[in-house]
Amino acid sequence: MKKGVRPAVKYGGADALKTNTKRLFVFMAQQFSRPRGTGDILPEESLLWQDIEQKARKIFSIYGYQEIRTPAFEETALFTRSLGETSDVVQKQMLNLEKEGLSLRPEGTASVVRSYIENSLDKKQNLNKLYYIGAMFRGERPQKGRLRQFHQIGVEAIGADAQNLPYLDAEVIILSANLLKSFGLKEDEFTVKINTLGSKEDKENFSGILREKLKNHLSTLCEDCQNRFQKNVLRVLDCKNKTCKDIVGKIDIGHSYLSKESQAYFESVKEALKEQNIAFSVEPNLVRGLDYYTHTVFEISSAALGSQDALGAGGRYNNLITVLGGPQVHATGFALGIERILLALAGKETAQKTTSQVFVVGLDERGFKTGFQIVHQLRASGYPSDMVYKITALKNVLSLLNKINAKAVIILGEDEVNKRVLSFKNLETREQESLNIGDWEKLFPLLEKAGVKKI
């Protein structure tokens, strides 16, 4: 064979069969990974998620909020129109289904408002207090606390009478703080920051003053902020670039742009928060990154999260419903990030490790069949219970049950089945006793004593 010339590939014969079989095996054995910027919520972790969701639903019921569920994708135009074409979400982060003109929802407010308008909820009651729990999607660079698929708990209160608006703003701030406390965060483990943008006219005045203050620094601003200068100058206040932050830090506008009515409005919000002992700080540069906000805006942060420290945020958006073709009504709301809440709760014991607290064990085939009937009777009676579906030595079973924090075990072997009895063992006290199969009046108190509670 000449040097540098590769041998011809043979496709027939035994060698080729071995080669092709090996290639097929490699193809079939290919492993797949989760998409970048997403996460698997494994069974033990899901208990923490369920705990948060259940606590949230309980508090929402107390506050008079009802659940709404909207699609995971909407028309792209809905988001560009509501969030603003100059927002970072629209310009950099939307995950689009381009052929269909659809986008995965990057936040919940626009979808809820679309549903409110489409289903004429304003005609059903004056004030619709709605909440949602679900996945959101943004095509950004994944990092700690910032995923491409993330989950939010949010509320929208739409349609209030104008004279009560400051108190409704205060309510959603109080509600968000109480949610975090119910999840296990202490008051000193998160910070509530608030501000006001005033009315639509005040906000335009604010933009004009800021643009005047920034014009001599325009060439020094980052490229993004140079674009924002004309299109949405308030977004400069949100910039994380150090040079831009230094320039903004030297600008003192305060609340000089506010009308007297807007000043009185904001004072009412602060007074209501103080009356409910909600600690907060006023941050004049807090504007939020979405176009639809007016009047009250707020953010809740946790130092435990590092640079991405926001647990949630929200505010008032009085004009969004009319912009999207709906009636002239008022609205306010917020969203909390579940992943970030769990990061802030890291190390805290917030949920039980298992819900199946009593296990039924059959030591042979007859014991298993009898146990299968017993476990279903326990479930029908409301006791969380499960079976060990492998017939093995009792020592191995007890070792397993200790690892998963089981409270009690019911044992059925050959002797028990022949005598029509079962052996009940409290795994905490190690007490064990025998009782007749079907004697539920005696078994149920033993379960309760072991810590197995009805659901």
Which pLDDT score is estimated for 2?
47
pTM (2 d.p.):
0.82
CB-based contact 80:324 (threshold 8 Å): no
**The tokens 């643009």 sit on which residue?**
211
User: Tens of pLDDT along 227-259?
Assistant: 888 878 888 888 888 899 888 888 888 898 999
294 beta partners: 316
- Among 39-43, 61-65, 331-335, 369-373, which is the least confidently predicted range? 39-43
pLDDT(9) > 70: no
CA 7 to chain centroid, in Å, comes to 59
Which pLDDT score is estimated for 403?
83
Mean pLDDT of 293-320: 91
CATH code: domain 358-449 is 3.40.50.800
To the nearest whole percent, how much of the chain has pLDDT over 90? 57
Q: With bands split at pLDDT 50, 70 and 90, how would you rate the model's confidence at 306?
A: confident
- Helices (H), strands (E): how many in the chain? 16, 16
CA distance 204 to 284: 16
For 383-422, the DSSP string reads: --EEE--S---HHHHHHHHHHTT--EEEEE-HHHHHHTEE
The span from the first CA to the last CA of the chain, in angstroms, equals: 78
Which pLDDT score is estimated for 304?
87
User: Tens of pLDDT along 50-80?
Assistant: 999 999 999 999 999 999 999 999 999 998 8
Which pLDDT score is estimated for 15?
59
More confident call, 123 vs 26 = 123
Q: Which CATH architecture has domain 43-199+259-344?
A: 2-Layer Sandwich (3.30)
Q: With bands split at pLDDT 50, 70 and 90, how would you rate the model's confidence at 119?
A: very high
Domains in the chain: boundaries: 43-199+259-344, 358-449
User: Tens of pLDDT along 338-383?
Assistant: 999 999 998 776 555 556 789 999 999 999 999 999 999 999 999 9
Q: With bands split at pLDDT 50, 70 and 90, how would you rate the model's confidence at 8?
A: very low
Which pLDDT score is estimated for 285?
87
Mean pLDDT of 282-301: 87
Q: In angstroms, how far apart are the furthest CA atoms of the chain?
A: 94
User: Tens of pLDDT along 190-204?
Assistant: 999 999 999 989 988
Nearest to 374 by CA among 390, 388, 394: 388
pLDDT(81) > 50: yes
Which pLDDT score is estimated for 354?
57
* DSSP H helical ranges for 64-108: 76-83, 88
Packing angle of the helix pair 43-63, 165-183 (nearest 10 deg): 150
Task: Give CA separation, 48 vs 184, 243, 411, in Å.
Answer: 11, 40, 31
User: Tens of pLDDT along 137-147?
Assistant: 988 777 777 88
Helix (H) or strand (E) holding 63: helix 43-63
The type of residue at 21 is: T
User: Tens of pLDDT along 436-454?
Assistant: 999 999 999 999 999 999 9
- Quote the tokens at residue 358: 């009593």
pLDDT(84) > 80: no
What is the rounded average pLDDT for all residues in the chain? 88
CA distance 453 to 95: 45
User: Tens of pLDDT along 380-434?
Assistant: 999 999 998 988 889 898 988 888 889 999 999 999 999 999 999 999 999 999 9
